Structure formats: structure tokens, C-alpha cells
Amino acid sequence: MTASPQALLDVTDLTIELRSGLPVVQDISLALNRGATLGLVGESGSGKTTVAMTLLGYVRPGMRVVHGQITIAGEGIDLRDEKAARRARGRLVSLVPQDPATSLNPALRIGGTIRDVLEAHTSGHANDVAVGEALDRVHLPITGEFMRRFPHQLSGGQQQRVLIACALACSPPLVVLDEPTTGLDVVTQAQILAQIDQLHSERELAMVYVSHDLAVVSQLADRIAVMYAGRIVEHGPASMVLTRPRHPYTRGLIGSSPDHVTPRQLHGIPGVAVGLGDRPTGCAFAPRCAQRVARCELELPPLEPQQDGRSVRCFEAERTPPLQFGAPLAPATPASAEPILLVRDLKAVHGTRGHTFTAAEDISFAVRRSECLALVGESGSGKSTIARVIVGLHPPAAGEVQLDGRRLAPLAKERSRDERRRCQIVFQNPYESLNPRQKVEEQVARPARLLRGFSRADARAAVTELFERVRLPTRLGEKFPSELSGGERQRVAIARALAAGPAVLICDEVTSALDVSVQAAVLDVLIELQRELELGLVFITHNLGVVATVADSVLVLTRGRICERGSVNEVLHHPSDPITQQLLAAAPRLRATAKRDALVSERA
């Protein structure tokens, strides 16, 4: 696309590589008008954060700008001179960073943090009035008491607001937001997004919103640029890109995004994203692409403008089929009416003598074979504690857990080998759930040897079979976890749990650390396993879209108590509890609103 003369931001031909010569981002050209919002979307490793940081004139140590220019409000940003670039920050462009908890200096009070920003970018002394104005803009209290608080005395949402206040303190015309809501709860996220939207429309602010989450981006962006392996692959008006994607990767991303209003079968993108060093000469997406032709692997498709006003980097863009969402598979009929896992009046408490905190109370539920029960709630709602009680990592304060009608001992070491075998857990963080110093196959074989008494040879055969089940190439067994991607690690963790031959599988936020296309693939594996092995699944998540895709029934938790339960359909479409209603209202959905369309045509 070409920059219109009044463009606020103009990026041309930006290419950044590592000092060793490996390209990180290539041929990035972007333009943004005053008051417009660009969503920069991509999965991990796509280079979106590198682009975002470069917009601030910041090139990370170890990287260098090969060529390219950035102009903001007519002023060129000198990418080779950190001192010159610094003069633009705050005045022309500012950043709202990703992680509020680590972005705020824990030793500085809130007032001091904002004062520092003001004093760094404007001449002279900043008084409390100016600090108060900055806080007021994001609807934070402007009392002296609040300004004297330290970051740890604020909630995550308030911390993020302070960062937004810092970014807006000097009224720059452009703000770069780098995944500003990723670490927040859905409800807080919805509030922050609404706030950003309001500030945006009040102040004619141009924004570059960087995120991996299409649903979030679709709330705000007029235009969307999708990045893959360091290049923009599709760029155009948001409604167009979201409803009729032309690049197969964009289509794959949308097809992988779960939705809680219209449950759909997810289609993950096969394969894994190419690493930094392995980008092919042709189209980087070709190895994962269903519509590739011989030419795709030989030459790089240009980012070609289409008639409808967008640009697509694909030779075969015309052939990209329209989006199609199949309904999810009908719930499997449970093999027996008898519950396999029964939790009754469970209560769990954290802390020691004197100072206790009830994490979960009055929790009762049952899971049958081939049934998937979702536990949904915000962080701190007690869902992970319940998982830990079930597998015997945390002793319950009251109540009981039954497996096949037999009461389980409180702790894993007091349970029989068979009881431990039949109830397995997969943890949230794939980067933490595997021992970094053991080969992957050894870790998968261990439960089979320990809990099923397999010989070394039998265990090896079991590992091979399990790798096939979770769709991992067998050769990965030889590797250490650090050599695998996040999605591969999580599949190894699932294989390890299955190696025990369980009847019940507890999945504790197993996809929340993964990219959407990887999430879709992992969910697909889980659904298939649940059906084929007749597993009872307890699926813990905060993502209602995922619930709609995998679960048969749902429990909604808040502050350690069940506030609503029912079938997925009932709960997601006719929620009766105010908490559920609030959660559903806050959950972001992929949408291209009429309002956005109007804005686009007006500015076009």
C-alpha cells in the first residue's frame, strides 16, 4: 500500500537482521493515518514485537537495521542513533508494554513513575497536578494516597492503567500497544480494551496494537496486518481480512480461533512455524500450506495489492476458499451412566496454622467415561487447586474424591499404584512440565515403567505408539525438551500422562500458553483421545471459546465456589448466574463491526 500524504506513520521497506546475518523481519511497509488503529497480528516468532519496538526507534542489542525508514508525523526516526531516536519517544510515539507486573519498577511509587516519564520527555519539573491529570485520563484515583502506592499494591488492571497513563502522559499522536492485555483476566481485559477504545476516540490517537489474539485485535483495529516468519502476509481493512481472508495463513488463524457463541470445530494449521534460521527461499508458509504449487517453494511471492484494497503475499490468493466452520462433534455418549470420577463436598485450604485461605469449598461433581467436564473461572477461582486435590498433590480439608466408586486417600503417596495410574494430570505450562535434563522418550516411558510395570522394551514400544497418538514424529524422542516447541512439549506432556493408561485425565489450562493454531491442534488431539480411549476429561480453562469446542458440561467457579453448572449449551447461551453472564459478556469474539467498517470507508 502507498502512504497517503497525511499519513501519520510511514514505515518503508524495514528489514532487520541479527548481527550474524539471519533476517528477523523483512520488507515491512506500513502506513497509518491519524486516529486510525492498526492491528499487527502474528504468532510467536513472527517478528511482530521486533517491528513494534522499531516503531519506537529501538533496535535490540544483537540486531541491526539493514534498511528501511520510519517517519512519524513527518519526522524521520533515526534507527542508527539511539540518542536521536530517544527524542521522538514520548513526544511522537510511546509504548504500552506487555507485562505490567515486570514493566513497573517495584521500588518506585506510582506518582514517581509518572513524574519520571513527564520529566524525561518535557523540560522542567512535573508537579502533582500534571501527574493527577495523567492518572485521571485512565480513570485512576488522583488522591495523594494512590500516588504514594507501590506497584504491588495495585491490581493487574490498575497496573496496566498506570502504564497506559505513562504512555499518554506527553500526548503523543501514536501509541504502540504490545499485547497489553495478555496477562489479564477476561473481565479486566474487557475493561482495559474499552478504556483504550474510549481514549482512542476521544483523543484522535493512532494506535498500533500488537497481539497474537485475533479476537482482541478485532475489537479495536480498523486495519489488520498479519505477520508470518518475519514478513507481512496479508494487510487490509479489518472487516475484509477477518471475514474473507485471502492468505491461507490468515484463514488458518481464523479457523483455529475458538468461539463461545457459535461453537465450532477447530482446524489447526498443520506443521510448526519455521524457525529463525530455517526460513526457506520461497514462501515461508509453503510447507504448511494446503494450496501450495511448485512455484511457492521456489520464489517468494510479493505482497501484491488486490482490487479490494488489501495486499496479500500469495501466488494462489484467488484460490483460498472462504471460511467454513463445521459444528463441533456431537457429545460422545458416555459408555456407562456410572461416574468414573466423583468429587463430593470438597473443600481445600491454603496456608498454615493461623493464617488460612479457603481456595475451594462445596465442590461436587461427577465425570463419566468419554465425558468432558470443563471447570471455568478467573485466576484465583480455585480451579487449579481442585485439580491438585484430585491427583493427590494437595490434601483436601473436607470432602472426598472417588475413583470408580472407591474413595481415594488424600495424598498421592498414600494411594495404590493402580489408583495413581488411573488418574493423570497435564499441567499448564509446557515449558515447566518436562524435566529439562531428561530425554523426552525417557520421560514418557517413566510412568509406563513405574505404574504399569512395563519392561524397558515394552515401555519403548508404548512410547512409539503414544507419539503416534499425539501426532509427534518418533525422532523427537531422542531430544531434550529445550529442543522442542511449546506445542510439541505439551503433546509430550499429554503422551506422558497417557503412558500410565489413565481412565481420567485432568488438563489444567493445557493450551493457555500456546499459539492459537497450536492450541487448535492440541485440542484436536485431546478430543480424539477422549473418544478413542473413553477417557473422562476434566478440562480446566479460563477460555470460554475452548470450552465450547471441547466440553460436554461446564462448572463455573468464582472465589472457590460453584456458581453455575450445566451443559455447555445451557451455560453459554442461557447463563443464569450474574458471574457467568459477566464472563460471557467480557470474552472477546472475532468480529468486524459495522462501526469499524464505517470508519474505514470514511478514511479511505
Partner 1 sequence: MRHRLRFARTRRGQFGLVIVAIVLAIALLGPFVSPHGPSQLTGAPGAPPGGGHLLGTDYLGHDVLSRVLWGGRSVISLALSATALGFALGTTIGLIAGYSRGIVDSLLMRSVDVILAFPPLLFFLIIVTSVGYSEGVLICGVAVVQAPGIARIVYSATREVSVAAYVEAAVARGETTAAILRRELLPNTLPTLIANLGLTLTYSVLLTAAVNFLGLGLQPPAANWALMISENRTILSLNPWAVVVPATLIAALTIGVNLVGDAISISLGRSETTVDARVDPAAAIMQGNLIATPQGPET
Q: Is 332 an interacting residue with respect to partner 1 (CB under 8 A)?
A: no
Residue 84 identity: A
How far apart (Å, rounded) are the C-alpha atoms in residues 222 and 601? 10
Q: Candidates 107-115, 311-319, 429-437, 594-602 — which segment interacts with partner 1 by CB under 8 A?
A: 429-437
- Count CA atoms closer than 13 A to 251's CA, side-chain side: 22
Q: Is 68 an interacting residue with respect to partner 1 (CB under 8 A)?
A: no
Q: Is 130 an interacting residue with respect to partner 1 (CB under 8 A)?
A: no
Q: Is 62 an interacting residue with respect to partner 1 (CB under 8 A)?
A: yes
Q: Which of 6, 20, 307, 333 binds partner 1 (CB under 8 A)?
A: 20
* Nearer to partner 1 (CB atom), residue 57 or residue 111: 57
How far apart (Å, rounded) are the C-alpha atoms in residues 385 and 561? 12
Q: Is 211 an interacting residue with respect to partner 1 (CB under 8 A)?
A: no
Q: Candidates 181-189, 280-288, 341-349, 388-396 — which segment interacts with partner 1 by CB under 8 A?
A: 388-396
Q: Is 44 an interacting residue with respect to partner 1 (CB under 8 A)?
A: yes
Backbone phi and psi for residue 426, each to the nearest 5 degrees, phi listed first: -120, 130
- In whole angstroms, the minimum distance from the beta carbon of 443 to partner 1 comes to 8
Contact between residue 347 and residue 562 where contact means Cβ atoms under 8 Å apart? no
The grid cell for 426 is: 497435564
Each residue 441-460 as x (binds partner 1 by CB under 8 A) or -, in order, gives: --x--xx--xx---------
- In whole angstroms, the minimum distance from the beta carbon of 63 to partner 1 comes to 6
How far apart (Å, rounded) are the C-alpha atoms in residues 445 and 277? 32
Q: Is 36 an interacting residue with respect to partner 1 (CB under 8 A)?
A: no
* Nearer to partner 1 (CB atom), residue 375 or residue 390: 390
Q: Which of 182, 180, 178 is nearest to 162 (CA)?
A: 180
Question: In 10 A of CB 103, how many CB atoms?
Answer: 18
**H-only helix segments in 533-567:** 544-550
How far apart (Å, rounded) are the C-alpha atoms in residues 303 and 315? 9
Residue 165, H or E segment: helix 156-168
Q: Candidates 246-254, 341-349, 386-394, 402-410 — which segment interacts with partner 1 by CB under 8 A?
A: 386-394
Q: Is 82 an interacting residue with respect to partner 1 (CB under 8 A)?
A: no
The grid cell for 93 is: 510515539
Q: Candidates 13-21, 79-87, 193-201, 539-547 — which segment interacts with partner 1 by CB under 8 A?
A: 13-21
How far apart (Å, rounded) are the C-alpha atoms in residues 41 and 44? 10
Q: Is 49 an interacting residue with respect to partner 1 (CB under 8 A)?
A: yes
Q: Is 63 an interacting residue with respect to partner 1 (CB under 8 A)?
A: yes
Q: Is 438 an interacting residue with respect to partner 1 (CB under 8 A)?
A: yes
* Nearer to partner 1 (CB atom), residue 137 or residue 394: 394
Backbone phi and psi for residue 445, each to the nearest 5 degrees, phi listed first: -70, -30
How far apart (Å, rounded) are the C-alpha atoms in residues 8 and 223? 14
Contact between residue 242 and residue 254 where contact means Cβ atoms under 8 Å apart? yes
Contact between residue 525 and residue 491 where contact means Cβ atoms under 8 Å apart? yes
Where does residue 557 fall: left (phi above 0), alpha (psi -120 to 50 degrees), or beta otherwise?
Answer: beta
Q: Taking the mean position of all CA atoms in its chain, how far away is CA 270?
A: 19
Q: Which of 36, 444, 484, 535 binds partner 1 (CB under 8 A)?
A: 484
Q: Which of 425, 498, 537, 587 binds partner 1 (CB under 8 A)?
A: 425
Q: Is 15 an interacting residue with respect to partner 1 (CB under 8 A)?
A: no
The grid cell for 227 is: 505477520
- In whole angstroms, the minimum distance from the beta carbon of 106 to partner 1 comes to 19
Where does residue 328 fall: left (phi above 0), alpha (psi -120 to 50 degrees), or beta otherwise?
Answer: beta
Largest CA distance in the chain: 75
- In whole angstroms, the minimum distance from the beta carbon of 22 to partner 1 comes to 6
Strand segments, DSSP code E, in 450-513 are 504-508
- In whole angstroms, the minimum distance from the beta carbon of 18 to partner 1 comes to 5
Each residue 498-537 as x (binds partner 1 by CB under 8 A) or -, in order, gives: --x-------------------------------------
- In whole angstroms, the minimum distance from the beta carbon of 417 to partner 1 comes to 7
* Number of residues assigned to the chain: 604
The grid cell for 212 is: 497474537
Q: Is 353 an interacting residue with respect to partner 1 (CB under 8 A)?
A: no
Q: Is 50 an interacting residue with respect to partner 1 (CB under 8 A)?
A: yes
Each residue 399-418 as x (binds partner 1 by CB under 8 A) or -, in order, gives: -------------xx-x-x-
Contact between residue 328 and residue 260 where contact means Cβ atoms under 8 Å apart? no
Backbone phi and psi for residue 65, each to the nearest 5 degrees, phi listed first: -85, 120
Q: Is 433 an interacting residue with respect to partner 1 (CB under 8 A)?
A: yes
Strands 63-72 and 37-41: unpaired
Chain position carrying cell 548481527:
19
Q: Is 47 an interacting residue with respect to partner 1 (CB under 8 A)?
A: yes
Q: Is 276 an interacting residue with respect to partner 1 (CB under 8 A)?
A: yes
* Nearer to partner 1 (CB atom), residue 247 or residue 421: 421
Q: Is 354 an interacting residue with respect to partner 1 (CB under 8 A)?
A: no
Q: Is 428 an interacting residue with respect to partner 1 (CB under 8 A)?
A: yes
- In whole angstroms, the minimum distance from the beta carbon of 564 to partner 1 comes to 29
The residues of the shown chain that bind partner 1, judged by CB under 8 A, are: 18-20, 22, 24, 44-45, 47, 49-50, 60-63, 275-277, 388, 391-393, 412-413, 415, 417, 420-421, 424-425, 427-429, 431-438, 443, 446-447, 450-451, 479-480, 482-486, 496, 500
